[in-house]
Amino acid sequence: MQLRMLGPTHIKIAPLVLGGNVFGWTADSKTSFAILDAFLESGFNAIDTADVYNRYAPGLVGGESETIIGAWMKDRGVRDRIIVITKGGLEMGEGLVGLGREYLPKACEASLRRLQTDYIDVYMSHRSDSGIPIEETLETYQKLIDTGKIRCAGCSNYKPDELAAALAAAGPGRARYVVNEPQYNLAERNQYEGAMEKVCVDHDVAVITYFSLAAGFLTGKYRSKESLEGRARKGTAAQYFTPSGFKALDALDTVAARRGATPAQVALAWLMARPSVTAPIASATSLEQLADILKSADLKLTPEDLTLINANTG
């Protein structure tokens, strides 16, 4: 498996990143450990999480995902084999929010404690903060880099102009965002393609995509609202139940049948084939789901496959 460089850094990752949002939520500790074991044993190395996972779920307070990943890395003794990507800045309690010099280092320290590690490979702004000058945020990131707390900085959920402004503000004493994590999948291409993709390409910003399978819709398992009953994110997946969404599924079905693959594998392989994408993020709540998505890294789509998919999505 060929590793990919994470932008202008010395960090190399496998072509698929494991989404940690399910750990401590729809996957308990035992299941999470089994998934993480299998992921690493298969030759993959990057895990994406955030401090706020899974604060939005009933009965959870945030930090559960990082805590499980940290416990697993310590128990298995594999920290040096893992690229940890986590995020901060979203509210973790009253007054615990933002990207300013007062709170961001505290958020980083809290993530380090939960992850049971001395450093974070990629630490990201989970969302832009209009109340804090971008210069202050980047200066804070640079101090975290200088003290060895993080290896590099990135961002998620930024608008194209916000990312462009952040890149323009980088310089002496200010870190540069070298990784961007946008929402991007075959059912919803317009949030990334166009202005955001141009900013990333023009400035050599690595891209790892979230919602890569459109909350499970692009697996092809959910084709009616009834099939979503009991799903933790049924409302999110249901938004893709549109004529264009089902047209995209039809294209995936055709290519999957042609290649002896699954729709999920084709959807992820399509993202991996995008020149501007470093790697997609995908989650799994079982070993069976993990085995399915990992096969996408070995699926090479033909020009005919890509033409069919591109003509029927967008």
Q: Residue 275: which pLDDT band, with cuts at 50, 70 and 90? A: very high
For the entire predicted model, the pTM comes to 0.96
- Checking if the pLDDT of 228 tops 70, the result is no
Per the structure block, which two tokens stand in for 11? 């960090």
Q: What is the mean pLDDT of the chain?
A: 95
Cβ atoms of residues 103 and 97 within 8 Å: yes
* Residue 281 belongs to a domain: no
pLDDT at residue 235, as a whole number: 59
pLDDT at residue 238, as a whole number: 79
* Residue 279 belongs to a domain: no
Range of the domain at 140: 4-181
- Greater confidence, 272 or 224? 272
CA distance 4 to 278: 7
- Greater confidence, 215 or 269? 269
pLDDT at residue 221, as a whole number: 85
* Residue 111 belongs to a domain: yes
Dump the DSSP string for 232-266: TTHHHHHTT-SHHHHHHHHHHHHHHHHHT--HHHH
* Residue 265 belongs to a domain: no
- Checking if the pLDDT of 231 tops 90, the result is no
CA distances 238 to 222, 225, 232, 245, Å, are 9, 7, 12, 10
* Residue 251 belongs to a domain: no
* Residue 270 belongs to a domain: no
Number of structural domains in the chain: 1
pLDDT at residue 237, as a whole number: 74
- Checking if the pLDDT of 189 tops 60, the result is yes
Q: Residue 239: which pLDDT band, with cuts at 50, 70 and 90? A: confident
pLDDT at residue 78, as a whole number: 98
Q: Residue 107: which pLDDT band, with cuts at 50, 70 and 90? A: very high
Per the structure block, which two tokens stand in for 33? 């450990």
Percent of the chain with pLDDT over 70: 96
* Residue 46 belongs to a domain: yes
Taking only the tens place, the pLDDT of each residue in 65-85 is: 999 999 999 999 999 999 999
Percent of the chain with pLDDT over 90: 89
Query: What SS3 class is residue 65?
Result: helix
* Residue 187 belongs to a domain: no
Angle at 237 between CA 233 and CA 238, to 5 degrees: 110
pLDDT at residue 222, as a whole number: 78
CB atoms closer than 10 angstroms to residue 111: 25
- 169: domain CATH number is 3.20.20.100
Residues shown for the chain = 314
